[in-house]
Amino acid sequence: MAHVAWIVLAAQLAAAVGHAAPSPASPAAPPPGSPSPLDPTESRALDHLDRGVAAYRAGDYDRARAEFTAASALAPDRPNPYRWLALTETALHDCANALIHVESFLSRIAHDDPRVAEMSALRERCLHTGLVSVISTPSGAAIRLDGGPPSATTPVQHLAMRTGRHRIVVEKPGFVAEIHDFDLAATGELHQSFTLAPAPASRPVVQRWWFWAAVGAVAITAAGVTYGLTRGSDPRLPPVTCDPAGCHP
């Protein structure tokens, strides 16, 4: 009986110890609604995206494009890198690539996303815009577009214009103005080159026909006056001659 009692007591003690011992710790569940943790690849993509946004806002569009391109390569299913790439390519006057990124962004978001309007407006802008680059010899010539006031001086690159028919005038003092008409296509870029000819130099007054005609008329008048004053007078008197300064013997 004593042996049985001891066994029962040992079993009760073991049960008590087992009940009191803490169970192995399990990972705490994230609070409801909290975002799931990012894997290392997505974390790196987010770092590139943050650096790209900072560069874009600082006006360093080349660096921004490199950062957004890296972000889209690491997280190709995420829409945000394509949105920022579209904005950056537009700032770099590269509508052809901007349109590709617009479509990549729109295909990855819901149709009622508030950013759809922004990207749709950017797409419409690119679909009705082309670029013109203008150089001239000599440089520093004023550029007039479609009859407007001077808008730039040569050389100029990536001058954004609406698509369609245009007229460009390049002019500089001392040179003959040049005029070109051209058609600009969407997302296209035209290169216009002008060689300005020197304007004809003004001739000195003594080389102009009307100067010598006037001189001839004065000479004929003076000769007639001389003849009239000397005709019928005493031949012993000295002849009187007249010129523009007056009459004198």
Q: Which amino acid is at 247?
A: C
pLDDT tier for residue 16 given thresholds of 50, 70 and 90: very low
pLDDT at site 20: 42
- pLDDT, one tens digit per residue, over 60-101 is 999 999 999 999 999 999 999 999 999 999 999 899 899 999
Mean pLDDT, the chain, whole residue set: 79
**Closest to 187 in 3D by CA, of 68, 90, 117, 101:** 90
CATH of domain 40-127: 1.25.40.10
Residue 33 has pLDDT above 90, yes or no: no
- Comparison of pLDDT for 235 and 59, the residue scoring more: 59
- Comparison of pLDDT for 39 and 9, the residue scoring more: 39
- pLDDT, one tens digit per residue, over 191-209 is 999 999 999 876 555 565 5
Residue 116 has pLDDT above 80, yes or no: yes
Residue 210 has pLDDT above 60, yes or no: no
- With beta carbons less than 8 A apart as the criterion, state whether 172 and 198 touch: no
Q: Which amino acid is at 229?
A: L
Mean pLDDT for 127-134 is: 92
pLDDT at site 101: 96
* Distance (Å, whole) CA 217 – CA 222: 9
Residue 179 has pLDDT above 60, yes or no: yes
pLDDT at site 243: 64
* Distance (Å, whole) CA 87 – CA 92: 9
- With beta carbons less than 8 A apart as the criterion, state whether 173 and 141 touch: no
pLDDT at site 32: 60
Which ranges of the chain does DSSP label H, i.e. alpha helix?
2-20, 40-57, 61-74, 80-91, 95-106, 116-127, 209-230
pLDDT tier for residue 159 given thresholds of 50, 70 and 90: confident
pLDDT at site 187: 82
In the CATH hierarchy, which top-level class contains the domain 129-195?
mainly beta
**Global pTM value:** 0.60
